[in-house]
Amino acid sequence: MATLLETTTLDSELTSFFDNQLDYLATVSDDGQPQIGPKGSIRVLDNQHLIYVEFTLDHAYNNIQSNNRVAVTSFDNKNHVSYRINGIAYLHDHDEVSETELKQSGLDEHFPNAVVVIVDIKEIYKL
């Protein structure tokens, strides 16, 4: 059973959790088809936001363009702990945010068309 936490702010424990697990991003298409996939570059930007580099520019990217409501989930198999974040995703395409993040991550040379996605945290659930 999912338990809604009373906060939308990531503390140090949740920050460590999302930064040290493989996170999965869930989106939905215009016609209601769900899509979920691992996003190895997801990390905590600050206590209210997640960030990742979208370089496939495929399903998740297209879905976010039409419906920017997303969920990010991760599971710590060793400790049997899981959390889900529901949020609003914002695409940064060839702007100051994306150029800075891509350069800092070193991905700008490998993925020149990549965009940066920032997820504004709206709800956090312990699963």
Lowest mean pLDDT segment, chosen from 30-44, 80-94, 101-115: 101-115
Joined together, the tokens standing for residue 35 give 């899509």
| pLDDT over 70, % of the chain | 99
Q: What residues contact 50, with CB distance under 8 A and at least 6 apart? A: 18, 23, 42, 43, 44, 72, 85, 87, 118, 119, 121
| pLDDT over 90, % of the chain | 76
If you average pLDDT over residues 91-110, what whole number do you get?
Answer: 83
Reported pTM: 0.91
Overall fold of domain 3-126: Pnp Oxidase; Chain A (2.30.110)
Q: Domain extents for the chain?
A: 3-126
